[in-house]
Structure 1
Amino acid sequence: MHEIVPGEPIAGAEGGDGTEMVQTTMEPRARGQAVAAACPVGHTVPPRVPGTRNAAATIERILASAEAEFGSRGIDSARIDDIAKAAGISKQLIYHYFDGKDDIYGALLVHIARRNMTLVCAIDYDALDPIEAVRAFFETLFRAYRGNPFTSTIPLDQGLHGGAHVRYDAEVAAMRDDFYRRFGDAIDRGKGMGLIRPEIDVAALHFLAIVLVSGAIALMPMFVRYTRRKAGSGHPAPDATCEQFTEYFMRAVMA
């Protein structure tokens, strides 16, 4: 485990201006719990800006690299050396912000949850009729996962570990509660109008959508191999795939 010495320079770690990075007194675990908040919504590795030393930008680069590493290899095979290389920083600098691979993974899951909740919370469910509200939610979620393919593979990998790296995050919880309230109101309106099945539960519906979307995107390459369908003319276009899965989802919801 990397030893943290408050006030001492990090060996081999430099800021963008060439100066040595200095250890802070913040505990590693506390850093790991806070870093996702410093990273804006996004998934590509941002470029380094010479002459700057920005902790939030560095954390963003680490999480973006970690998303690709964990998403393609899983936590068991992922290596911090590869995350550091892809982020264009030193391994020592990663340990300045995170207490190892598990800590990075936990922060990444929080970051992904915030990113996706931001998108579904941006929908004005009150302004939509119940059926269109459900459709807008599912299509938004589907396009979010399709735009960030590793968002689909990471939940599958985490499922193999029983959700061991999932953390409670107050911001995500508040966003989820707001989403459940507003989306739930639309669902209730639909039930009252006889448009939506009366047994539909908003939390269960949210989970079902995540399972369907993540499976549809992450397992598509396996489906193509299994059915011997070739990508191209014989493979459904991305928009068509979204439309097809949306229709499946809507049939399960509509009365």
Structure 2
Amino acid sequence: MNTSSVRTEPNKRNTLNRLLEVARQEFSKKGLSGARIEDIAREAGITKQLVYHYYGSKERLFSAVLDESSQRIMAELIALDVEHLAPTVALRELLYYCFDQYRDDPFLGALALEGIRYHDAHDTPRNMFADLTPALAEKFDNILKRGAQCGEFKAVADPRLFLATAALLTSGGFTNHYSMSVLVGVDTRSTQGMQLWRQHSVDFIVSSISLVPAPA
């Protein structure tokens, strides 16, 4: 059972929100295999039996946590007001925001990495990430088309490929922390490392399609 199929009386909704937040932190810190329903229930102030009543299993609770987190971050990106900005500025602002979601959420990188492992190993049902991706791809596509029309960008044949590349680059310092830190020579989760990777990743992505010379 997922949250969309649970009745949403105020008390129950508050309980579910608290449960999902506690579970999010536990899964981020300990992974799916290490997190225990008993610990999650105790921290959320409910019984283990109630967790199973709502979600049926630890895996379904984890799926609900991923779904809620995906909905939150995707909705924020889709709603970001950049349409009034010049294309290059709009693209930069959107890419910076992609990075900042990971920088400002201490659990998102670990949760995303655990989610990648889970989806790779399981045949998972359609979720909010898949449902909201077309709207985010359209937002990117509109910026890219505006940029091409006014001579700021090269034409981008496949905006979904561009979006996928941008997502990998902006989040890589968090979801592939060890490898990226070794390659860069700086801890990508340190203040210095985050500043470095934030600027580099966005500059790299924008320069790949830019027709406007970078400032000297």
Relative to structure 1, the CA distance from residue 227 to residue 244 in structure 2 (aligned partners, 3 Å threshold; closer, same or farther) is: closer
Write the deviation string for residues 118-139 of structure 1: whole angstroms up to 9, x where unpaired: 2111223321111112111111
2:204 is matched with: 248
Cα offsets for 1:69-106 (capped at 9, x unmatched): 22122212221122223323221121121111111111
Q: What's the secondary structure of 1:89's corresponding residue? A: coil
Whether contact under 8 Å (2:173, 2:181) holds in the other structure is: no
**CA 1:188–1:106 in structure 2 vs 1: closer, same or farther (change >3 Å)?**
same
Q: Alpha carbons of 1:67 and 1:127: their partners in 2 closer, same or farther (altered >3 Å)?
A: same
Return the alpha-carbon distance in structure 2 between the equivalents of residues 182 and 230 of structure 1: 32
Structure 2 alignment gaps of length 5 or more: 212-216
Structure-to-structure mapping, 1:73-84, within 5 angstroms: 73-84=30-41
Residue 34 of structure 1: aligned partner: 4
SS of the residue 2:154 aligns to: coil
Query: Deviation string for 1:170-203 (max 9, x for gaps)?
Result: x666643333333311111112233223235322
Query: For the Cα contact (< 8 Å) 1:195–1:254, is it kept in 2?
Result: yes
Q: 1:227 to 1:179 in 2, by over 3 A?
A: closer
Distance 1:253 1:74 in 2: 38
Q: Is the 8 A contact 1:153 1:214 kept in 2?
A: no
Deviation at 1:165, TM superposition (A): 6.5
1:165/1:213 Cα in 2 relative to 1: closer, same or farther (>3 Å)? farther
Could you say if the C-alpha distance between residues 230 and 139 of structure 1 is closer, same or farther in structure 2, counting changes exceeding 3 Å?
A: closer
* Aligned-pair CA distance for 1:240: 5.1
Q: Given the alignment of the two structures, is residue 193 of structure 1 paired with residue 150 of structure 2, yes or no?
A: yes
Q: 2:75 aligns with which of 99, 102, 118?
A: 118
Q: Letter of the aligned partner of 1:145 in structure 2? A: Y
Instruction: Give the 3 Å change call, closer, same or farther, for CA 237–216 of structure 1 in structure 2.
Output: closer
Residues 66, 214 of structure 1: alpha-carbon distance in 2 compared, 3 angstrom cutoff? farther
Residue by residue over 1:192-218, the C-alpha shift from the partner in whole angstroms, topping out at 9 and shown as x without a partner, is 233223235322222223222332124
1:15-54 equivalence runs, <5 A:
31-32=1-2, 34=4, 54=11
Residues of 1 paired with 2:89 and 2:109: CA distance?
A: 24
TM-superposed CA distance for 1:148, in Å, is 1.7
Q: Secondary structure at the match of 2:192?
A: coil
Counterparts in 2 of 1:219 and 1:176: CA distance versus 1, 3 Å: closer
In the TM superposition, residue 109 of structure 1 has moved relative to its aligned partner by: 1.5
Greater Rg over alpha carbons, structure: 1
- Deviation at residue 116 of structure 1 after TM alignment: 0.8
Q: Measure, in 1, the Cα distance between the counterparts of 2:134 and 2:186.
A: 41
Q: 1:164 pairs with 122, 147, 150, which one?
A: 122
Instruction: Tell me which protein shows more helix as a share of its residues.
Output: 2
TM-score when normalising by structure 2: 0.79
**Which letter maps to 1:243?**
Q
Where in structure 1 are there 5+ consecutive unaligned residues?
Answer: 1-30, 39-51
**TM-score normalised according to structure 1 size:** 0.68
Mapped pair 1:59 → 2:29? no
Q: Which letter maps to 1:98?
A: Y
